[in-house]
Amino acid sequence: MLLRLAPWVLTSVLVMPLAAGLLMVILPAFGYLPVLGGETFHFDAWQALWQRPGLYRSILLSYASGLITTLASLSIVVLFLAASRGTWLDRGIRRLVSPLLAIPHAAVAFGLAFLIAPSGLFARWISPGLTGWERPPDLLIVNDPMGLALMAGLVLKEVPFLLLMCLAALPQLGPEKRVTLARSLGYSATIAWLKSVFPVLYPLIRLPVYAVIAYATSVVDMAMILGPTLPPTLSVSILSWFNDPDLDRRYMASAGAVLQLGVTLAALVTWWLGEQCVKRLSQGWLVNGARSSGSMVVAISGRVLLATSTLMAISAIGGLVIFSVAGFWRFPDALPGTFTLDHWQRILPSVTTPLLNTLSVGLAATLIAAVLVVATLENAVRHHLPVSRSQWLLYLPLIVPQVAFLFGLVVAAESISVRPQLALVVAAHLLFVAPYLYLSLSEAYRRLDPRWVQVAHSLGVGPWRAFWRIRLPLLLAPLLTACAVSLAVSIGQYLPTLLLGGGRVPTITTEAVAMASGGNRRLIAVLGLLQALLPFIGFSLALLVPRLVWAKRRNMRGVV
Amino acid sequence: MPNKRNSLSAIMTLGMLAFSLTATANPDPDDWQSVLEEAEGQTVYWNAWAGEERTNAYIEWVAQQVDERYGIELVHVKLGDTSEAVSRVLAEKQAGNDDAGSVDMIWINGENFAAMKENDLLFGPWADSLPNYPLTDPENTPAVRYDWTIPVDGLESPWSSSQVVFYYDTALVDEHPNNMPELLEWAAQNPGEFTYPQVPNFLGNAFITQAMLELSDDTRIFYQPMQAEDFDQATAPLWAFLDELHPHLWRAGRAFPSNSADLRSLMGDSEISIALSFSTTEASGAIANYELPDTVRSYVHDSGMIGNMSFMAIPYNAEHKAGAMVVANYLMSPEAQAEKQDPEIWGSNTVLSMEQLSAEERALFDGIDLGIATLPPSELGEVLGQPHPSWVDALAEAWQNRYVN
Amino acid sequence: MTANANFHTHQLHTKQLHIKQLTISLHGETLLAIESVIQPGEVLTVMGPSGSGKSTLLAYLAGFLSPAFKAQGQLFLDEQRLDTLPAEKRGIGLLFQDPLLFPHLSVGGNLRFGLPRQVHDKRQQVTQALEQVGLTGFEARDPATLSGGQQARVALMRLLLSKPRAVLLDEPFSKLDTALRQEMRSLVFSQLREAGLPALLVTHDHADAKAAGGSIIELG
């Protein structure tokens, strides 16, 4: 049966290229890279790596920023959800958050850097009136050695992602019932949420949380813009070694990539250990009977934190919008001296092909991933398969540094005479799109009440008809959301598009990154906004379509 | 040319061993007519750094020209970093794709060229057979024959010449320094108002190389491959200078901008008031782009500034070598070079020798308005050659060991 | 509620349900063992505390038993063996605690969903079924706008329209308030009797068992 093959196809589509790519990192890390004359195995690359100045600091930065970012983002989301009572304010904040998912990481980073830099928007708004600054103060805010700016940038991007994942998982838990029950026992609403909903919610958003850790420990683009420079994070160092004109650096770069994998795994293990501790320690708290202590703090901090991070992100984007039409803009002027449409006029004529490429690659990769993932999940649900350990394989592409295995992937594709082309780019995107689609969809899929399909069967309806007529419609909203996430992931890919496409499949992102290397903020702003356009449309459709389709079905609203 | 392999070997090559079973005849640049014929109808994939919108626009103009003149379709593969193209060629070589490579031409120089040459990743010699090559007056222009002291050997054709210049905001700085000791003095009086890109960025490397050359009495040693025992003594003045300079830099030297673009943004935000660039026309261009105030001007140090050339190279396995050669030759034509030098278009200096041109061709260059912040060629001073790459590598390494902790 | 005599005429050839020497075990431990024959129109009531295997029994009969369980024995409808068939081919209808009306379909859509494909006068049958339970004209309504009792009645009619050959009732009245419970009991049992279907009722409530009027098995 075709369906039974789905998990195998999905796994091999992801794991085989990855294995080929990984092999091409691990071998050079131990000295084997015949094309550069390395034909024996040794540890020279590792020795060179350990002697890099600032290596330990780089490792610590990557490790710590990954964990702290995740903890902060998760806390903000959880506190907000605990505090949220569905008032217009809460709904308003929620609505503002989801479009932020569409903004590319690099654009958020640029925007944030411009917001908080000593010569940034904030400083401009209060200068010289409040500060007396005629020149920007010499303060190390962006690129600070502790990585605080980097972590702030990551939090701005990860909060919307985690919030979306939580909102997708919540309805199946019936949070209102749980909270109502606990409140009837005298618990305040926020504490009721924390004690009765969060413990059952966390297992459902665990994989997205792990994905955030993996991403935050290995992020490159944001770290280049916001992160420390002396030394930079490990991932940025690795990229610079891979890009070093001295090709012999590639041995050390490969060893660094293996090390990066280790750092990411270490962060994941640390988090997992933390989970176990919290589980033990919180047993007492969950049943200690305290009904409202800390309730006010949670209620206020939850809303304030989320609103702050949302407003920061929106101001960052606002900064981009201003820059995209700015003439020269001297400090401390609050607004540019002149406005111009030059930047848009220079970029727009050349973006049609890149936009079309972006769209076709993104849609193709998302569609293929959706078919494979849904088939895999349907197969698991039909045959009562438990969540298998092998699903961890699906997440491998998310925790292995891209720059490392993509080189190997190009070698692999060339070896079987597959030349750069659109299809190859789609295949490469699939590596990153499918895991995100899987992790966004699998919980909703598995947790859908099995009685819906059982009712259908008992009415004499077979598995396929039940799938099309019952399961898919009921899962329309989460499926569309997962597809929108995937589309955004595809649109954000730079290295896979460039390397596997041989540079022949220009997308809006390859244009944006190439332009970003030139550092013209105004053009970067234009391209960043254009880059956000397609994912923004995707997320909007994912929100609107279920609303329109189910306009007359009350119980389908909110069943995200 | 499609590459035929049976599936068995395809499986074998998946590991690392790779053999190409077919070989194609490469075009012969000395038979220019046949090169032109072969080039017609080819699609040439030109891998070039694309961080500058004006560069991209110029490349687009070139694409139109070669299409009209030679029937070549030129595609600009936009790179964020030249090494991305090197990676691609390396991966193809590893996989045994020796004659259908996807990179036809690379904009390259210095360390990337040295690495590709050393690893046999380049096609050639071909460049000195191009019809327009004599216009660069190679006999009298060493910069055409040596890329960062590495012999070019006909493996790349000259395209652009560039020189490091400083630029400063006249609204903030009364009198600019004229050498490194004066720069130090100025920085001490104006703390936090100067910085340079983080080594090993090429402009950062250029700054410390410039300082090393300026601060040394005898610079000949730097144009030979570096001997480890000479390093400490030869670079001692440099480190003394940098140790003293760093506390006066922007952010007290605790962070550095990552590249020339970041540096320019700092200047545009008034965070710093003196910066440097590898392009003599960068300041004028940035003023036109609204990135810098129109009070910015350029200057050079008394003893001259480091300069170099950038080139076109063809990878050993490029699929469209004939087309690439025709494009490279066109890029060296007086017409294309004059267009490139116009700051309205791009403002990148020509590699042609004016003495080799006809009066008509010279006129193309004479009429160019260089822009308010650009120094005329007569004021650019002496061009200091790039030291041997081994020195630059060692400098970058030592810088990291000293200032990264 | 007026019963429509014509409505069930083609279901007169009804059959008996035979649960033959059934034992279900989990990890080698026997959960339950049953041998029983349910005559057409009869309701067999299975009672027992939570964890006694009531829902496992239902899952087995309906064809949803998780592979973790091991079942021995057979299930026959007259001569036809059912336990080897997939759930949708058994012709066994289910009524849960919750009405489980599909939230994305209208009331009419829910009823049509259960109609066998070969039925031609679908619209007419749906209209008649709604009339029969006092919900005339409810076709286009969103199920979410119906009261609990109305939803329960639609669920019952959806089940009957699918022409089941036997019916399983999983505590179908436990979530209804007392007045409604009486009404639904008599409606369900009278409809089943009229259709001549063998039925198995799982419940906690002795009043249910009494109203069902058939034999009782105690589990656990």
Model confidence at A516, pLDDT cuts 50, 70, 90, reads confident
Query: Is the CB of B403 less than 8 angstroms away from the CB of A230?
Result: yes
User: Smallest Cβ distance to B119: which of A36, A416, A520?
Assistant: A36
Q: What is the pLDDT of residues B132-163, one digit of tens each?
A: 999 999 988 888 999 988 899 999 999 998 89
Nearest residue of C to residue A450, measured between CA atoms? C64
Nearest-angstrom CA–CA distance, A15 and A20 = 8
Same domain, B156 and B223: no
Do residue A415 and residue B45 have CB atoms under 8 angstroms apart? Answer: no
| Structure-block tokens of residue C20 | 């033959």
Q: How many CB atoms lie within 10 A of CB B376?
A: 8
B386 found inside a domain: yes
Interface of A with C (CB under 8 A): 383-384, 450-452, 454-463, 466, 469-470, 473-474, 476, 550, 552-556, 559
Q: Could you tell me if B169 and B301 lie in one domain?
A: yes
- pLDDT computed for residue C197 by the predictor: 92
Judgement on whether residues B104 and B234 belong to the same structural domain of the protein? no
Chain B nearest-CA residue for A524: B51
Q: Do A555 and C162 touch (CB under 8 A)?
A: no
Contact B74, A209 (CB under 8 A): no
Residue A472: closest CA among chain C residues belongs to which residue? Answer: C104
Measured between beta carbons, which residues in chain C are less than 8 angstroms from residue A460? 88-89, 91, 114, 116, 162-164
Within an 8 Å CB–CB cutoff, is residue C66 touching chain A?
yes
- Which residues in A lie closer than 8 A to residue C110 (C-beta atoms)? none
> In this structure, are B81 and B107 located in the same domain?
yes
Helix-then-strand count for chain B, H and E: 15, 11
A-facing residues of C in 173-212 (CB < 8 A) are none
Cα separation of C89 and C68, whole Å? 22
- pLDDT value of position A558: 52
C87 shares contact with chain A (CB less than 8 Å): yes
**Is residue B319 domain-shared with residue B173, that is, in the same domain?**
no
Asked if A503's CB is within 8 angstroms of B45's CB, the reply is: yes
What CA–CA distance (Å, rounded) separates C89 from A250?
A: 62
The complex's ipTM works out to 0.90
Instruction: Report yes or no: A500 and A413 within 8 Å, Cβ to Cβ.
Output: yes
Domain that holds residue B122: 22-160+308-371
Total Cβ atoms within 10 A of residue A245: 23
Share of chain C above pLDDT 70, in %: 94
* Closest to B85 in 3D by CA, of A402, A357, A514: A514
Is the domain of B289 the same as that of B333?
no
What's the one-letter identity of residue A2?
Answer: L
Average pLDDT over residues A476-486: 90
For residues B61 and B81, membership in a common domain is answered with yes
Cβ of A511 within 8 Å of Cβ of B103? The answer is: no
Section A211-234 average pLDDT: 88
Residue B18 vs residue C154, higher pLDDT? C154
Across the interface, do B393 and A328 touch by the CB < 8 Å criterion? no
Contact B290/A522, CB-based, under 8 Å? yes
Token readout for B78 is 């936009």
Count of domains observed in chain B: 2
Q: Kindly state whether residues B46 and B124 are assigned to the same domain.
A: yes
* Contact call for C116 and A460, based on CB within 8 A: yes
Q: How far is CA A204 from CA A197, A274, A378, A445, C53, in A?
A: 11, 17, 18, 11, 29
- Residue B192 and residue B65 share a domain: no
| H helices present in B26-109, as ranges | 32-39, 53-70, 83-94
Rounded Cα gap, residues B323 and B313, in angstroms: 13
Are B128 and B262 members of one domain? no
Asked, for residue B109, whether it belongs to a domain, the answer is yes
What SS3 state is found at B100? coil
Q: Is residue B237 part of a domain?
A: yes
Asked if A136's CB is within 8 angstroms of B261's CB, the reply is: no
CATH assignment of the domain containing B61: 3.40.190.10
At B346 the pLDDT is: 84
Q: Which of A385, A455, A548 to mutate: most C Cβ within 10 Å?
A: A455
Interface A:B, Cβ pairs < 8 A: 220
Question: Among candidates C214, C208, C191, which has minimal Cα distance to C7?
Answer: C191
Q: Please check whether residue B1 lies inside any domain of the structure.
A: no
The pLDDT-based confidence of A389 (bands split at 50, 70, 90) is low
Cβ pair A554, C142 in contact under 8 A: yes
Taking only the tens place, the pLDDT of each residue in B356-385 is: 999 999 999 888 887 788 888 778 888 898
Pick the CATH number of C14-218 from 1.20.1260.10, 1.20.1440.130, 3.60.20.10, 3.40.50.300: 3.40.50.300
Residues B353 and B242 in one domain: no
Note whether B272 and B360 are same-domain residues.
no
| pLDDT confidence band for B297 (50 / 70 / 90) | very high
Within an 8 Å CB–CB cutoff, is residue C1 touching chain A? no
Quick check: is B127 in a domain? yes
- Chains touching chain A through at least 3 C-beta pairs below 8 angstroms are B, C
How far is the C-alpha of A486 from the C-alpha of A102, rounded, in Å? 11
User: Residue B113 pLDDT > 60, yes or no?
Assistant: yes
Q: What is the 3-state secondary structure (H, E, C) of chain C?
A: CCCCHHHHHHHCCCCCEEEEEEEEEECCEEEEEEEEEECCCCEEEEECCCCCCHHHHHHHHHCCCCCCEEEEEEEEECCEECCCCCHHHCCEEEECCCCCCCCCCCHHHHHHHHCCCCCCCHHHHHHHHHHHCCCCCCCCCCHHHCCHHHHHHHHHHHHHHCCCCEEEEECCCCCCCHHHHHHHHHHHHHHHHHHCCCEEEEECCHHHHHHHCCCEEECC
Judged by phi (left if over 0) then psi (alpha if -120 to 50, else beta), residue A498 lies in alpha
Which whole number is the average pLDDT over A141-163? 90
- Residue B6 inside a domain? The answer is no
| The predicted structure's pLDDT at residue C10 | 45
Of the residues B83, B99, B121, the best mutation for testing chain A's interface (the one with the most A CB atoms within 10 Å of its CB) is B83
Collect all residues of chain A within an 8 Å Cβ-Cβ radius of residue C58. Answer: none
Of A450, A461, A555, the CB nearest to C88: A461
Is the predicted pLDDT of residue A466 greater than 80, yes or no? yes
Do the chains contact at A520 and B119, CB–CB below 8 Å? Answer: no
Q: What does the pLDDT look like over B155-214, one tens digit per residue?
A: 999 999 889 999 999 999 999 999 999 999 999 999 999 999 998 888 999 999 999 999
Minimal CA separation from B355 to chain A, in Å: 34
Q: Are residues A414 and B96, on separate chains, in Cβ contact within 8 Å?
A: yes
Among the listed ranges A83-87, C64-68, C194-198, which one has the minimum average pLDDT value?
Answer: A83-87
Top-ranked range on mean pLDDT: pick from A17-21, A84-88, A394-398, B292-296? B292-296
Interval B250-263 mean pLDDT: 88
Q: Do C64 and A459 make contact, defined as CB atoms within 8 angstroms?
A: no
pLDDT at B231: 95
B74 within 8 A of B327, measured Cβ to Cβ: yes
- Classify residue B377: in a domain, yes or no: no
- pLDDT value of position A386: 74
Which residues fall within 8 angstroms of residue C171, CB to CB, at 6 or more apart?
C97, C202, C203, C204, C205, C208
Does the predicted model carry a pTM greater than 0.95?
no
